Amino acid sequence: MTKLWDATSERLLRELAPQVLGAVARRFHDFAAAEDAVQEAMIAAFTQWPQEAIPDNPRSWLIQVAYRRMTDHVRSEIARRERETAVAAEAESFSPTPEIEADMDPDDTLILLFMCCHSALTVSSAIALTLRAVGGLTTAEIANAFLVPEATMAQRISRAKQTIKASGIPFRLPSPQERAERLPSVLHVLYLIFSEGYVSSVGTQLQRLDLAREAIRLTRNTKALLPDNPEVAGLLALMLLTDARRAARTGPDEELIPLDKQDRALWDPAEIRDGIELLTAALSKGSVGLYQLQAAIAAVHDEAGRLEDTDWPQILALYELLKRVSPSPMVTLNHAIAVAMVHGPAKGLELLRTLDSDPRVSGHYRLDAVRAHLFEKTGDRETAIKHYRMAAARTTSMPERNYLMTQAARLAAD
Amino acid sequence: MKYMLMMNTMKTGQGVLAWPEKDLHAHIAFMIGLNKELQERGELVSAEGLSFPDQAKLVRAGNDGRPITDGVFPESKEFLAGFWIIDVDNPERAYAIAARISAAPGAGGRPLNMPVELRPVMSGPPQEMV
């Protein structure tokens, strides 16, 4: 029965990538080379399947192509080190038609995820490797998403694999305790892929890969593998509840539209519903964390049909909880906005002053941006203009700079 | 995070054209080696060298919108000789690369210590605005 390539095929192919990689990596005991072989198999599939047809067993098709690449790789390694008889003996033991299905392990995707998001890697290399090895994306797609040349992205991925090799990270599922320790870096990488997607959804970058959607897909898969972890569900809920506002977030000229000016009719009710459902189930497990709380805050915003319906006291209470669970200057910054909404801008500004001595945030544009907003609310136009301009000078996001400059110009014209 | 590194050299004096062949080779090898290293580290976005300043033109639109070209601006003491766009994990790494470029070997193999201007490229993701 031949199946033709259609809109769902691309996703099917990407979902198979980590499963195939797991099978090949375990058999050959060489993650780095296996990952390259699977990438080649993926590119072969992306080239051949749309033109011909999807094979009856796509998974074994991919595994066989990857196996052939691996065998070639091992043979050339042997040629290079022909005196090393141990390697030669190992190569002889390969069977060209392996018992493919026996090599599959449902935990492989999880093993790969923990490996690619390991804290030994820099964040940028963890992101790149995760998108390729777990996400099944090609190097060209990842390079395009981050606007760097393909050769540069290939090197970044290759170096990430060298780091994994040098750190001696084994290809096996971490123990439950290790998993608990390492899950925050996995979730952080997924979260960063999502927030990077913010950029590609702005305006002229339409042809770029949608990283926000990729992050949602990967987090959904992670949730399927760790169904009982409320923080994984919390992160997925946060992504959905944020992504729901996507269409309202930018205007016709690609300008940023802040939350309080968005047309709420453009928010996606299905995504909001899914996010709230996920969050409610997660919260009922009784182990509240960073992502569940941020999702809860996003949910309170999303539930307000009109701006004036926003339940600010509840948002304030959630920020107070978030500050206890996961204190950071960025949390304090957002907490100050909630304080200002409930107790007035002067109280918010008072809280912001506690951040001036914190080197992690004292020169950060977000501090100036929030300060500008709160000074505007107190009626101190001159100070607000000054801080909008300082924030505009410090941000590295072009849409954000345009927004902040526009705010300063608007106040200056009043 | 992405940065642009702009290599400025003096317009006059110690011109590269007057260097001995050996020094010239050392300089060229340094630049090629640096670009190769940045590429291998997965940090290179692009690198371009620019033509000599006598090829530069200053362009302004006239009242009718048509281009009016002029020779290179006589008042400038330095000119942009080349630039890199790099994508690195932290600002310190960008400063380190800029310092390497600054110390590229010049006449007599001595480090040039030329000024390298470093500017963040506007490539960050925007946050939710209040």
Q: Dump the DSSP string for A340-367.
A: HHHH-HHHHHHHHHTTTT-TTTTT-HHH
pLDDT exceeds 90 at position B118: yes
Angle between helix A290-303 and A312-325 (nearest 10): 170
Identify the residue among A394, A396, A398 best suited for mutation to test binding to B, counting B beta carbons within 10 A and taking the highest: A396
The average confidence (pLDDT) of chain B is 87
Q: In what order do the strands lie in the sheet with B78-87?
A: B44-49, B78-87, B2-10, B116-120
Pairwise CA distance, residues A379 & B44, whole Å: 47
What are residue B55's phi and psi, to 5 degrees? Answer: -90, -5
DSSP bridge pairs for B79 = B9
The pLDDT of residue B74 = 60
Residues of B in contact with A260 (CB under 8 A): 130
ipTM exceeding cut-off 0.90 for this assembly: no
The pLDDT of residue A197 = 82
Pairwise CA distance, residues A262 & A235, whole Å: 23
Q: What's the gap in Å between the CA of A401 and the closest CA on chain B?
A: 9
pLDDT exceeds 80 at position B76: no
Interface residues from chain B to A (CB-CB < 8 Å): 1, 39-46, 87, 89, 120-130
C-beta atoms surrounding A165 within 10 Å:
12
Pairwise CA distance, residues A400 & B124, whole Å: 9
Residue that the structure tokens 């760790």 belong to: A226
Nearest residue in A to B123, CA atom: A397
The secondary element (H helix, E strand) that includes residue A336 is helix A329-343
First to last CA, chain B: 24
Q: Comparing C-alpha atoms, which of B127, B125, B126, B120 is closest to residue B2?
A: B120
The pLDDT of residue A87 = 56
Q: Which two tokens stand for residue B122?
A: 């506007």
CATH annotation of B2-120: 3.30.70.1060
Task: Give, in degrees to the nearest 5, the angle at Cα A396 between A266 and B49.
Answer: 125
Task: Please check whether residue A392 is in contact with residue A380, taking contact to mean a CB–CB distance below 8 angstroms.
Answer: no
Q: Per-residue pLDDT tens, chain A, 414 aa: give them.
A: 568 888 888 888 999 999 999 999 988 889 999 999 999 999 999 999 999 889 999 999 999 999 999 999 888 888 887 766 655 555 555 544 445 555 667 788 999 999 999 999 999 999 999 999 999 999 999 998 888 999 999 999 999 999 999 999 888 899 999 999 999 999 999 999 998 886 544 444 445 678 999 999 999 999 999 999 999 999 999 999 999 999 999 888 778 899 999 999 999 999 999 999 999 999 999 899 999 999 999 999 999 999 999 999 999 999 999 999 999 999 999 999 999 999 999 999 999 999 999 999 998 999 999 999 999 999 999 999 999 999 999 998 888 998 999 999 999 997
Q: Comparing C-alpha atoms, which of A135, A161, A164, A181 is closest to residue A42?
A: A135
pLDDT exceeds 50 at position B99: yes
For B127, which DSSP code? Answer: P
| pTM confidence score | 0.89
The pLDDT of residue B42 = 95
Q: Give alpha helix (H) positions in A260-328.
A: 269-283, 290-303, 312-325
Between B13 and A115, name the one with better pLDDT: A115
